[in-house]
Structure 1
Amino acid sequence: MDPETAAVSAYLSPTDAAVPEGVYRLVGLPDGRATLLLVGDAEGRRVHSGRLVAVSRPALAGFERTDPPAPRRSVSGALTLGYWSVRAFARQLARTPFRAAGAALLLVAGFAADVSSAVPEAAAAALVVLGALALSLVGSGRL
């Protein structure tokens, strides 16, 4: 990389620099120096180490531009997020029991009306949609 055209926010990887392998982001260019933040490991996976490396501006010649590291995604992270989302939803429903019961009643009434032939199909579908919408609004804390 040309040290004179270096720009903050560029992603760099060392080619012959005296820093550990990985993906770095250029976060500062103060007074003839360059400050780099380690954002990816040698395989290109994102890391959150907080490790800063300071090199002289001419030492940027030992780096090359690269792509940003891939975001971290895992099945266990998705399962954990799902668990906490369901738990927060249930806790919000428990905080407002009357609203939650009213929304659930609309939903159940819609399903019951759909089973019976006394209520038009469109009305039963509308009750189901309204009940589900009301339940989601109560569970998210918006109603």
Structure 2
Amino acid sequence: MSSPRIAVYDHLRPTSEATDPSPVEPGVYRVVGVGEGTVTLLRVGDADGYRVNTGEVATVDRDALAGFDPADNPDGNRPTGEKARRFAESVGWNLRAFVAGLRAHPALAAVALALVVVGHQGHRALSVPESWLTAVYFLGVLGVVYLGARG
């Protein structure tokens, strides 16, 4: 790799054909600093190119960049199946935490849910202005959201 063209946010990986041992472990590195004689790299991908959060920072001489090749940014290169699985996992954990928040305060949760039901179905049994029922409904929804999110 030609070192004069190196810039912050470029991505590099050590070549496997290098004759000298690489100054860094195999993986994908993001350039986070460029000095006159050195380049600072942050490891952001494993040897297969998948995103990792290691916090490993390495400073290498510009001459050592001859043993590096350009690499793709590992952000967002996860397979679609893994993205879908992680999304489903995330939704499941969020729902579980939300229900746990409601169960932590059952009396308040029951009141909030009752307000939602009265606000939504109250026009069938109560002769009150529609705006009151709307206010009761939204108060109940806000109560449920607050209790569920607060835990």
State the match for 1:37 in structure 2.
Answer: 43
Letter paired with 2:45: V
Query: Residues 17 and 59 of structure 1 are in contact (CA less than 8 Å); yes or no, is this contact kept in structure 2?
Result: no
- Identical residues among aligned pairs (%): 32
Partners of 2:46 and 2:84 in 1: CA distance: 20
State the match for 1:70 in structure 2.
Answer: 75
Alpha-carbon displacement from aligned partner over 1:93-129 (angstroms, at most 9, x marks no partner): 1111121111111111112213346222222222111
User: Gaps (5+ residues) in structure 1?
Assistant: none
1:92 aligns with 2:101: yes
Count how many residue pairs are aligned between Structure 1 and Structure 2.
Answer: 140
TM-score by length of 1: 0.68
Decide whether aligned partners of structure 1 residues 130 and 3 sit closer, same or farther in structure 2, where only a CA change above 3 A counts: same
Deviation, 1:23, is 3.4
Decide whether aligned partners of structure 1 residues 113 and 9 sit closer, same or farther in structure 2, where only a CA change above 3 A counts: same
Deviation, 1:90, is 0.9
Deviation, 1:74, is 0.9
State the match for 2:62 in structure 1.
Answer: 57
Decide whether aligned partners of structure 1 residues 85 and 33 sit closer, same or farther in structure 2, where only a CA change above 3 A counts: closer
SS at match of 1:48: coil
Partners of 2:17 and 2:63 in 1: CA distance: 11
Once superposed, what is the RMSD of the aligned Cα atoms? 3.7
Decide whether aligned partners of structure 1 residues 58 and 16 sit closer, same or farther in structure 2, where only a CA change above 3 A counts: farther
